[in-house]
A = this chain, B = another copy of it.
Amino acid sequence: MNSEEQIRLTQTVKKGGCAAKLPAGELKEILTGMNIFRPKELIVGTETMDDACLWDLKDGRYLIQTLDFFTPIVDDPFDFGAIAAANAVSDVYAMGGQPATALTILAFPGSLLPLSVIRPLMDGALSILSKAGIALAGGHTIDDETLKLGFSVSGFVDKNKAWTNAGAKAGDVLILTKPLGTGTITAALKKGEAKESWIKEAIKSMTTLNNITRELEEIDVHSATDITGFGLAGHATQMALASRLHFTVDLNKLEFLEGAKECLESGFLTRAHTTNASYTQNKIEWNISINQKDYWPEWKQKIIFDPQTSGGLLLAIPETQAQKALEIIKNSGFVKAGIIGKVSRSETRTAVKFEAK
């Protein structure tokens, strides 16, 4: 083992991954009323809090653009690079597109880590970018106090095949492609309290590309988003609000990563667990029946606020096509994908109901 292998990246930062986002609610308030230039080519901008923007290229395609970056949530540089890449690319898939280029965003603590660590970081990222057919085409690096890595990713989608978070229809079912729990597991990892098998499954999940847009071409995907820093509650809320409909999520249909329940029960939380709860406070409601109260104690409910890094896609699909879509998704390697809820007209003032009956 050489000196580089002994570096534990998570010990160089306070907060890891998508857990380090700024509180969304406060941010939104501060930025309200900004004077943003809005040309007609911009089909999707910031208004609907979608995963990426869409720009009309006027040749039958939309250009998709997104960026994401964060601090280490795992210790190994190669793994962190791979996760950062898969996480950034995910937004392009969430718009129904295929990614094409990536630019690196790297803040590196030259006084804390040898510069040579950049190589395994980038090798890890490239292992994912190459798999996704993405050209690494540039980027920017700065010397910084703590390590941050991410990518600005662009891709393309046929105009009539784009998915947004605003297209869900009443009667649709909701499919989630990956299990939840990367936030709490990586919080435990940082404290040295996560089992190797938990970490391994979490890394496998986070480095799995959400690349199912082509496989789902025959399915009428009405709406899509990927679950990241704002957790299932936050992103489901954004999608319900953008679609002006109501979502009902069946808590008992949610899949947990191995160890996620143990980590939540032991109280391994991030600040995002709190800010995500506060962000969605007046937008979600709970409906846990009396006989489910014991099975859904407060610690377990926190799974919906768990900040996901490189989380799964949340898809709204016509009920008639749901089983077929689920089969395609599972056959694409997302074995824990499942139908977790449904879309209906708004009956209440909330956007999403989480129920266990």
**A154 with B63: in contact, given A39-B133, A118-B30, A122-B34 (CB under 8 Å)?**
yes
A167 in the interface (beta carbon within 8 A): no
Q: Is the CB of B20 within 8 A of A142?
A: yes
Bound: A123/B67 CA distance, A: 21
In the assembled complex, A26 has its CB within 8 A of some CB on chain B: yes
Which segment, of A145-153, A296-304, A341-349, faces chain B?
A: A145-153
Give chain B nearest CB distance to A319 CB in angstroms. 32
Question: Is B66 a contact of A63 with CB atoms below 8 Å?
Answer: no
Contacting residue for A69 out of B118, B123, B142, CB 8 A: B142
Check A2 for interface membership: any CB of B closer than 8 A.
Answer: no
Q: Is the CB of B105 within 8 A of A143?
A: no
- Residue pair A126, B39 in contact (C-beta under 8 Å): no
A134 within 8 Å of B (CB atoms): yes
A46 to B104, CA, bound (A): 11
Known A-B contacts A37-B129, A105-B105; A148 and B144 likewise in contact (beta carbons under 8 Å): yes
Is B145's CB under 8 angstroms from A105's CB? no
Q: Is A136 an interface residue (CB 8 A)?
A: yes
Q: Does A119 contact B (CB under 8 A)?
A: yes
Contact A68 B140 (CB under 8 A): yes
- Chain B residues lying within 8 Å of A70, measured Cβ to Cβ, are 142
Q: How far is the CA of A137 from the CA of B135 in the complex (A)?
A: 22
Q: CB within 8 A of A115: which of B27, B101, B105, B134?
A: B27
Given A22-B108, A37-B135: A140 touches B69 (CB 8 Å cut-off): yes
Is the Cβ of B119 less than 8 Å from the Cβ of A53?
no
Nearest CB of B to A163, in Å: 16
Residues of B near A150 (CB, < 8 A) are 140
Residues of B within 8 A of A105 (CB): 67, 69, 105, 152
Q: Do B20 and A143 touch across chains, with their CB atoms under 8 A apart?
A: yes
A290 at interface, CB cutoff 8 A: no
Bound complex: CA A124 to CA B163 (Å) = 33
Bound CA span A21–B144, Å: 9
Query: CB distance B69 to A22 under 8 Å?
Result: no
Is A333 in the interface zone, CB < 8 Å from B? no
Q: What residues on B are CB-neighbors of A145 within 8 Å?
A: 145-146
A and B contact pairs by CB, cutoff 8 A, 28 listed: A20-B144, A21-B142, A22-B110, A27-B115, A27-B118, A27-B141, A30-B116, A36-B126, A37-B126, A37-B135, A39-B100, A39-B135, A41-B135, A45-B135, A45-B137, A53-B101, A53-B137, A53-B138, A55-B101, A55-B154, A57-B59, A66-B103, A67-B67, A67-B152, A69-B105, A69-B142, A107-B107, A145-B146
Can you add 17 more A-B contacts, CB < 8 Å, to A22-B110, A37-B136?
A22-B108, A22-B115, A23-B115, A31-B119, A37-B126, A37-B133, A41-B135, A45-B136, A46-B137, A52-B138, A53-B135, A63-B154, A65-B101, A67-B103, A68-B140, A69-B142, A145-B145
